[in-house]
Structure 1
Amino acid sequence: METADGTSAGRPRQRTRTGKRPAGRAQSASMADVARVAGVSSQTVSRVANGYAGVTEETRQQVLAAMKELGYRPNSAARALKRGEFRTIGVITFGLSTTGNVRTLEAIATSAAHEGYAVTLLPVAVPTQDEVRGAFSRLGELAVDAVIVIQEVHLLDAVPLDLPPNVQVVVADSDAGDRYTVVDTDQAGGTRTAVRHLLDLGHRTVWHLAGPEESYAAQRRADAWRAELTRAGRTPPPLVRGDWSAESGYRAGLELASLEDCSAVFAANDQMALGLLRALHERGRTVPDDVSVIGFDDIPESGSFLPPLTTVHQDFAEVGRRCVEGVLRQMRHDATAHGTTLVPTRLVVRDSTAPPP
């Protein structure tokens, strides 16, 4: 039988003069072992391990040195039971290949670490109802306090979800109605700014290279493009559809390059704008002298396109920070408070837009 500090009753554990166990032992060090080597109480070791105040820096360093010497690792499961939380946030994301998802995930991980939380990632390869349901079901097997869903497709409203009790949810880049807290870029506002910029340059209308039909962000941008043209008294031209990739932008660009009345194009993301620029160049349409092109995202490479791309800047870091802020607010204050937070965008004007010929 073992006592609370891990020793066997009636059989004292052998130690070296420094408090270490003899080499070759597989048993792990206990909190009492660390306290003995550091010359402090087990309560002080506990306070250092849990990051509590009330310990001098000198004592904290002594305890940390003893932990390192003995290879002591705090029991996170025991701490979770004591605190009633796991200090872990689950993140469900649909596709790690898109710039926005990767940058938002990076910001979530950074913000969570700053608050003392770890992140458990559950990637969903195919955005289907079964996959969404399965990802949420797996949360019941994981020790997480909250969930952030980075999802741009319309699935949350169609999938009956069985969430673990007391797990809070924030959704990024989606339309989850009033059931969850939502954090998103101001898709409509950014689009209106882009369209208005082209109209103010003197273009009679603006063509739109849209994202995939199932995308929430693509729908918001297409709706705002159409509404802004209508508000300005212009008839929206036929929408051209892509799939976020540069290749789809290239294919659409070959079609748009053949239209003599096409002098301005708003692409729903920078990657499609890149393919569009290539297609226009191959067809002898100069940007911006013949055709102005504007994108959305402001990816790091957009300033190096030829010509440098005018685009709408999304603050992915702020979206990630607001997601973490949202789940922590629900956990600590009000689990029933839901709403939508829109992170502002801004237009970055470069060399791909100009007055019409």
Structure 2
Amino acid sequence: MSERKPAPPGRGRAANIFDVARLAGVSHQTVSRVINDLPNVRPSTRARVEQAIAQLHYSPSPAARALVTKRTRTIGLVTPGISDYGPTSIAMHFNFAARAARYAVESVSTPPADPKSFRAVVDGLLRQRVDALVLVVVDVEVLELVRNLDLSIPVVIAASTARRSPGIVSIDQYRGARAAVRHLSEIGHTRILHVAGPRNATDATERVRGWRDELAEHRLEIVPPVFGDWSAASGYRLGTELDIEPGAAVFVGNDQMSIGLFSALRERRLRVPEDVSVVGFDDIPEAGYLFPPLTTIRQEFDTLGGLIMQKVLIAVEESNPPTEDTPLPTHLILRQSTRPVDD
């Protein structure tokens, strides 16, 4: 007498875990262990279950997985509600790294300088039972808030700060700024102005600090910086107001403001680099195609995104607390917007 096979799921109904169990001849608990890659399942049994899953085109729901593993394989990502190159690049490359690790990302944006809104967004993600939080922080006050969060899940913060801690990952804005100023000093500039980002921005704070310290080391005059808002429009406005003469140099807080500065200097009949050397920060894709091509500081956002995900995986899957990292290095990219003073 031949063995009777279980009936397939009815037409229009998706297979469930019990259908898989009947077809494989095991309990639904065993199917669950195979689905969630848990130990203590014989290889032959695992093979039968996997064959049944394939035959029935069974796809376990995230909710079912979460009940067994107590994990949703979802990470909450909070980003500032701005389109600036740095934060958007961090978010993009983190999403790539999370997808490669088979994690979903629940992304929420919040006003960049509003601690109350930031906290409300974090609370909302916690209610969704995410496995970890990644916070991209660009404001000094918001950074102080997130430093003091006491949560039951791992938190990784992407932010620029002089105060290092295990939960924070960053790119070294301070040393990047020093490299920019050092380059300008080495090619003979003694008056190096700074067009900075917003006063409350974490990146701008570190870049101002690096600019100031490098000038002090070379015993050069420190002219108070002027502050923009990262936009080309603010770079243009500040460029029309700068007290600048031929032979000077400008370290600009980002490439977008450098674009506006170029336009303002051109209107003032100051040539770059013949009269004024300019160094930007970020190395946006357009930087090499400006006229002249922009000397700038490159940040490796793809590496940062991978590092953030690595910290998340260690905390979630290995239950190990994050360790303190050295900020990732930047790279000086030499192009035609700077040249030696004596040329």
- Normalising by structure 1, report the TM-score: 0.83
Matched, 1:157 2:144: yes
Residues of 2 paired with 1:178 and 1:234: CA distance? 29
**Post-superposition offset of 1:300:** 1.2
**Post-superposition offset of 1:316:** 0.6
Which residue of 1 is the match for residue 3 of structure 2? none
Matched, 1:205 2:191: yes
Residue 293 of structure 2, aligned match among 289, 295, 308: 308
For 1:156, give the aligned amino acid: L
Matched, 1:345 2:334: no
For 1:66, give the aligned amino acid: Q
Q: What's the CA shift string for 1:293-341, capped at 9, x where partnerless? A: 1111111111111111110000011111111111222234465445343
Aligned residue for 1:227, secondary structure, equals: helix
Residues of 2 paired with 1:306 and 1:55: CA distance? 66
Residues of 2 paired with 1:263 and 1:29: CA distance? 72
Which residue of 2 is the match for residue 88 of structure 1? 74
Residues of 2 paired with 1:306 and 1:328: CA distance? 44
For 2:253, give the aligned amino acid: A
RMSD of equivalent CA atoms: 2.9
Matched, 1:267 2:256: no
Residue 206 of structure 2, aligned match among 220, 224, 246: 220
TM-aligned CA distance change 1:159 to 1:319, over 3 Å: closer
1:10-89 map, 5 Å: 19-23=8-12, 27-34=13-20, 46=32, 49-50=35-36, 54=43, 62-63=51-52, 65-68=54-57, 72-89=58-75
Residue 178 of structure 2, aligned match among 177, 192, 213: 192
**Preserved contact between residue 298 and residue 333 of structure 2 (Cα < 8 Å):** yes
Residues of 1 paired with 2:201 and 2:89: CA distance? 18
Give percent identity, aligned residues only.
Answer: 39
**Preserved contact between residue 20 and residue 49 of structure 2 (Cα < 8 Å):** no
Residues of 2 paired with 1:309 and 1:250: CA distance? 16
**Post-superposition offset of 1:29:** 2.2
Residues of 2 paired with 1:205 and 1:289: CA distance? 15
TM-aligned CA distance change 1:210 to 1:329, over 3 Å: same
Q: Which runs of 5+ in 1 are unaligned?
A: 1-16
TM-aligned CA distance change 1:209 to 1:160, over 3 Å: closer
Q: What's the CA shift string for 1:194-239, capped at 9, x where partnerless? A: 1011111111121101000000110110011011001101011221
Which residue of 1 is the match for residue 99 of structure 2? 113
- Normalising by structure 2, report the TM-score: 0.86
Residue 128 of structure 1, aligned match among 83, 105, 114: 114
Q: Is the deviation greater in 78-87 or in 227-236? A: 78-87
TM-aligned CA distance change 1:60 to 1:22, over 3 Å: closer
Matched, 1:147 2:136: no
Residues of 2 paired with 1:280 and 1:100: CA distance? 25
Q: Is the deviation greater in 262-271 or in 182-191? A: 262-271
Residues of 1 paired with 2:252 and 2:22: CA distance? 65
Matched, 1:255 2:244: no
Residues of 2 paired with 1:317 and 1:224: CA distance? 23
**Post-superposition offset of 1:56:** 11
**Post-superposition offset of 1:95:** 2.2
**Preserved contact between residue 168 and residue 335 of structure 1 (Cα < 8 Å):** no
Residues of 2 paired with 1:137 and 1:90: CA distance? 11
Aligned residue for 2:144, secondary structure, equals: coil
For 2:85, give the aligned amino acid: T
**Post-superposition offset of 1:89:** 1.2
**Preserved contact between residue 86 and residue 144 of structure 1 (Cα < 8 Å):** yes
Residue 261 of structure 2, aligned match among 266, 276, 282: 276
Matched, 1:354 2:343: no
Residues of 2 paired with 1:193 and 1:162: CA distance? 34
Aligned residue for 1:156, secondary structure, equals: helix
TM-aligned CA distance change 1:74 to 1:159, over 3 Å: closer
Which residue of 2 is the match for residue 11 of structure 1? none
Residues of 1 paired with 2:139 and 2:179: CA distance? 24
Q: Which runs of 5+ in 2 are unaligned?
A: 1-5
**Preserved contact between residue 215 and residue 222 of structure 2 (Cα < 8 Å):** yes
Q: What's the CA shift string for 1:91-134, capped at 9, x where partnerless? A: 11112411111111111111112222111112113521211221
For 1:343, give the aligned amino acid: L
**Preserved contact between residue 67 and residue 73 of structure 1 (Cα < 8 Å):** no
**Preserved contact between residue 246 and residue 270 of structure 2 (Cα < 8 Å):** no
Residues of 1 paired with 2:162 and 2:210: CA distance? 19
TM-aligned CA distance change 1:279 to 1:111, over 3 Å: same
Residues of 2 paired with 1:148 and 1:341: CA distance? 18
TM-aligned CA distance change 1:308 to 1:58, over 3 Å: farther
